[in-house]
Amino acid sequence: MARCFRVPSPATSPRGGARRMGWATRWLAVLLALALLAPAAAPAQAGPGRDDAVPTTLADTPNSAFSGEEAFRHVSYLADHVGSRPAGSDKEAEAAAYLAAELTRYGLQTEIQPFSIQLYEERAARVTPLDPAGPPIETSAFIYSGAGTVDAELVDAGLGRPTEWAPGALAGRVALLERGELTFAEKIANVTEAGAVAAIVFNQSDRGFTGTLRNISNIPAVTLGRSDGEALREQLARGPVRVEVAVDASVVTRQSRNVIGRLPGSRPGTVVVGGHFDSVPAGPGANDNGSGTATVLELARVFSQRQYPYTLVFVAFGSEEIGLRGSRHFVEALSDAERQEIKAMINLDMVGVGDEEHLVGTTELVDLAREVADAMPLQGYRASGGGAGASSDHDSFQRVGIPILFIYRESDPNYHSPRDLAEYVDPANLALAGQLATGVLARLAAEER
């Protein structure tokens, strides 16, 4: 698909040597990178004939420098004041109202984009050993597990590969599965096809967990920590085991929403900067993804005080945690012409905790990010071009051919837990993510002059 920003082949890449930027453009890019780290200059005066001079004013007001502390203020509000923000919940709506108010306060053209979601609501789940008898075991249902109560013999189904049981061995039984190798959906589909009437997947650690099957399964499917799963496996080694698996849950329709702020540019072309603002139910989502959302907000404030040649669209996506629903809706709502106008999408997710910065995505955008990181200089980062996985909202854009850059940190010991608190988010990490994104935006402006 033709668009304003093309990902070059190795033969035409600046690093391949066949296409070279003019000396004036390259010097401009260098000056812009230096401007990112220096105090902002005095405001430039708008006037006739200034449209082509936009990139030289990317740092042009005293208050237009990215502030990690200001970004942290948003993290604190989202995690400490609003708290857990599951998709389609009242708390997600409360957070959206806050984000929209902040974007409006910065002077952006702001809208809340609603969309409907099918939401899985779990009311109760349990595994109870019946023979030998034992107390109920604490468990969680997979998102989109089938509902119902099953009383049946347990059988060890290994990792869930069809080669791990004899024909008919799972018929009418509960499959005990170990986490790993296959996706949860693949495991459950395989044992269902083999005749299992319920499934239990135990973890590789003692910590409880949950996951999604993406679509409603035909059988109840629940999770256990490793010690509980291994205890059931050891009982099976000694003789037959009968268990009850019960899931009380249903699928309901709820409303989620994206929050969008626009800064119109002076030339054709759009750059999207985004991150999801919903969280898992288990915790307040300070790092995942209050940190990315806060960085997007602070970038919106910064660029509201600068001139930029292309339209900037800042998006806080809803319902990322249940399958990138918000970003998919945003992309699907674009016309063909609007998609072709998008030069790049920068995604910020979990940027506040962890020792190592990661820069992944479309090769040319990663190359630009690497230039920014080296100029800062940023120590101990990893950069990898050629695309990114489907773990966050950038995937909705790369699926339709839009160049993407995914900025994130590894690793967070409090991921998807009640301890994902604001106190563990480092404002300095937010500032680094903001500087990286700002530098890439500067180079995008300089590339096509």
DSSP sequence for 315-362? EEES--TTTSHHHHHHHHTS-HHHHHHEEEEEEE-S-SS-SEEEEEES
Structure token pair of residue 206: 């003692």
pLDDT at 33: 38
293, 278 contact by CB (below 8 A): no
142, 184 contact by CB (below 8 A): yes
Tell me the pLDDT tens digit for each residue of 212-269: 898 899 999 999 999 999 999 999 999 999 999 999 999 899 999 999 999 999 999 9
Alpha carbon distance 310, 300 (integer Å): 14
Buried b or exposed e, range 52-70, using 16+ CB within 10 angstroms: eebbbbbbbbeebbbbbeb
- Helical residues (DSSP H) of 183-248, grouped into ranges: 184-193, 226-238
Count of residues in the chain:
449
Tell me the pLDDT tens digit for each residue of 156-197: 999 999 999 999 999 999 999 999 999 999 999 999 999 999
Domains of the chain: 23-116+255-447 (3.40.630.10), 133-240 (3.50.30.30)
pLDDT at 211: 85
Structure token pair of residue 3: 């668009």
Higher-pLDDT residue of 206, 261: 261
Tell me the pLDDT tens digit for each residue of 367-403: 999 999 999 999 889 999 999 999 999 999 999 999 9
Q: What are phi and psi of 87, to 5 degrees?
A: -55, 130
Confidence of residue 121 (pLDDT cuts 50, 70, 90): confident
Burial class of residue 15 in the structure, from the number of CB atoms within 10 Å of its CB (0-12 exposed, 13-18 middle, 19+ buried):
exposed
Tell me the pLDDT tens digit for each residue of 321-352: 988 999 999 999 999 999 999 999 999 999 99
Alpha carbon distance 55, 5 (integer Å): 17
